Amino acid sequence: MNKGFKKFLMWGVPILAGGGLIYWLNHKKKSTPPPPAGDDDVKDTVAPATRTASSVFPLKQGSRGDKVKELQRTIGTAADGIFGPNTENALIAYAGVRIVPDQKALDELKNKAIGASNYERAKSLVDRFKQSGVSMYVIKDATAELVEVDTFGAIQYTSRFKTFAGGKIYSNVDYQLISPTKAGNLLFGINKGTLMGTYMVDPNLISLK
């Protein structure tokens, strides 16, 4: 074995082997797919701006049109269709906000108005009933749900309904108005017989005689 071949075995083989190992490791690293993203890789992003079905929203100072009139009628201010300082002040007083962002928010304000109006009517009926001994009068056929009221005043629904005939006076001995509900309904109680229990009804269907 000559000296040149000995030197090749001593130095060349290790160099070639090391080079091959490095090439194999690099090739494997490139071909290995990246790991799936974890929670730490997810970042909050701002949603892209989208147009609403109607370009009139949001309703705010400077807005004009029928939707502004709708809002003004809801919050009890002059319905001129112009959203100015007076409308803004009325909106703040009514709902604690300056802007109505979309139709859903406008509908919620309208439902609030209906509920408040019905609550006042129900409360007025109860107050008059307790003071003057009048009887409950059903203006037209009224469907009422049998409910239960817990010790905290919360209403438990039973999904059991009765329809009370309209155009009829119901005795104030057996049928007694109890209270308005926060949602604007009227509670009345029947204190004997097969219908005994507490019922919830739309106060707009009830009057007093």
Distance of CA 101 to the CA centre of its chain: 14
Domain boundaries, the chain: 66-101, 120-208
Angstrom distance (rounded) from CA 166 to CA 41:
65
- Picking from 207, 209, 185, the residue whose alpha carbon sits closest to that of residue 198 is 185
**pLDDT value for 40:** 37
**pLDDT value for 23:** 56
Mind listing the pLDDT tens digit of every residue in the chain (209 residues)? Answer: 555 545 544 555 455 555 555 555 565 544 444 444 333 332 333 334 433 445 789 999 999 999 999 999 989 899 999 999 999 999 888 888 889 988 988 988 888 887 888 899 999 999 999 998 899 999 999 999 999 988 877 888 899 999 999 999 999 999 999 999 887 899 999 998 899 999 999 999 999 99
Angstrom distance (rounded) from CA 87 to CA 109:
14
Provide CB contacts within 8 A for 17, sequence distance 6+.
none
Q: What are phi and psi of 156, to 5 degrees?
A: -110, 120
